[in-house]
């Protein structure tokens, strides 16, 4: 147990992780933009979990897309003058549509919040975490499997996965533990109605945020530093590395359904020819 910073703490996965850590006796700093939601959740958890010590749950409203937010968080953490033991980077965003329909603002938001901000934050907290600390980046199975309709999101999560691996090797055994937790579809507000409907139509399984929080606890107590959640996604992740053309063929069969939900206005997909996978060389 110790002190943990959780970004995206008011989101579906961030809330489940926060509750799980609080139940285990951790003290937490909640980070997100909306201060009203931060204080509401703080109050609810203080009451529900019967927490008497005000210092167990702190909060800081920050827009992590702003580089200046890192300095604000650093000042806050240094002023606290106690050890930092865990950082969970769960803030994130997603836009589901074909790349040619994503605006510049949507591209930037996904790359900034899902990739650039976690790198900036990791750089800032590493010296504070020390050798016994742990940094967990919340990735996604879409960081391993390029999925139509999620081009910038996949790019950001793939970048985060690679950055996590590189950083773990950079800090080595003397540095903090650097981990990646990669959920599959999870029932939160991140997923638009179109995404939820598409997942149902494709038969994709959806986890609860509580299941993701349990997986985080297994990551924290185990020896692994990368954890993918759910079958058959774990299998697809491996298959995609070894035989990407097989996964491309499977996704090509699903393409009309994905297209329909990514283009809600032009929903007549009967006329749309499925996109067949291009010849791929083994990666």
Ligand X SMILES: NC(=O)c1ccc[n+]([C@@H]2O[C@H](COP(=O)([O-])OP(=O)(O)OC[C@H]3O[C@@H](n4cnc5c(N)ncnc54)[C@H](OP(=O)(O)O)[C@@H]3O)[C@@H](O)[C@H]2O)c1
Interface residue list for ligand X (CB under 6 A): 8-14, 32-34, 37, 62-65, 90-94, 113, 138, 140, 183, 185-186, 188-191
Residue whose CB is less far from ligand X, 206 or 225 = 206
Residue whose CB is less far from ligand X, 132 or 220 = 220
Residue whose CB is less far from ligand X, 140 or 280 = 140
Residue nearest to ligand X (CB): 11
Measured distance CA(58)–CA(46) in Å, rounded: 11
Edge-to-edge order in the sheet of strand 134-138:
57-61, 27-32, 3-7, 86-89, 134-138, 177-182, 226-228
Residue whose CB is less far from ligand X, 208 or 245 = 208
Q: Locate tokens 């999870």: which residue?
A: 186
CB of 215: closest distance to ligand X in angstroms? 11
CA angle at residue 113 from 185 to 122, to 5 degrees? 100
Residue whose CB is less far from ligand X, 63 or 165 = 63
CB of 112: closest distance to ligand X in angstroms? 8
CA distances from 188 to 28, 218, 223 (A): 21, 21, 28
CB of 134: closest distance to ligand X in angstroms? 17
Measured distance CA(164)–CA(175) in Å, rounded: 13
CB of 52: closest distance to ligand X in angstroms? 26
Helix spans in the chain (H): 12-23, 35-48, 68-80, 104-111, 117-129, 151-171, 193-202, 209-221, 233-242, 244-262
CB of 76: closest distance to ligand X in angstroms? 14
């Amino acid at each position: 147990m110790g002190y943990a910073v959780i970004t995206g703490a008011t989101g579906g996965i961030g809330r489940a992780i926060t509750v799980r850590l609080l139940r285990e006796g951790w003290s937490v700093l909640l980070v997100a933009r909306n201060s009203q939601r931060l204080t509401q959740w703080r109050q609810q958890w203080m009451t529900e979990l019967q927490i008497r010590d005000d210092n167990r749950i702190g909060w800081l409203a920050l827009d992590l897309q702003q580089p200046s937010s890192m300095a604000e968080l650093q000042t806050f953490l240094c002023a606290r003058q106690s050890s930092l033991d865990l950082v969970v980077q769960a803030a994130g965003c997603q836009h589901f549509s074909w790349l040619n329909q994503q605006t510049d603002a949507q591209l930037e938001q996904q790359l900034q919040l899902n990739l650039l901000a976690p790198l900036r934050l990791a750089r800032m907290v590493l010296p504070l975490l020390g050798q016994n600390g742990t940094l967990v980046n919340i990735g996604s199975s879409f960081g391993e499997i390029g999925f139509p309709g999620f081009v910038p999101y996949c790019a950001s999560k793939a970048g985060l996965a690679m950055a996590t691996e590189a950083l773990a090797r950079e800090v080595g055994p003397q540095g903090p533990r650097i981990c990646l937790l990669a959920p599959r579809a999870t029932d939160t507000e991140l997923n638009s109605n179109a995404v939820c409907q598409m997942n149902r139509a494709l038969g994709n399984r959806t986890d609860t945020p509580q299941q993701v929080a349990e997986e985080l606890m297994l990551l924290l107590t185990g020896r692994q530093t990368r954890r993918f959640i759910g079958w058959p996604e774990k299998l697809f992740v491996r298959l995609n590395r070894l035989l990407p053309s097989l996964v491309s063929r499977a996704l090509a069969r699903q393409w009309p359904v994905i297209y329909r939900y990514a283009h809600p206005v032009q929903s007549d997909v009967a006329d749309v020819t499925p996109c067949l996978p291009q010849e791929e060389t083994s990666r």
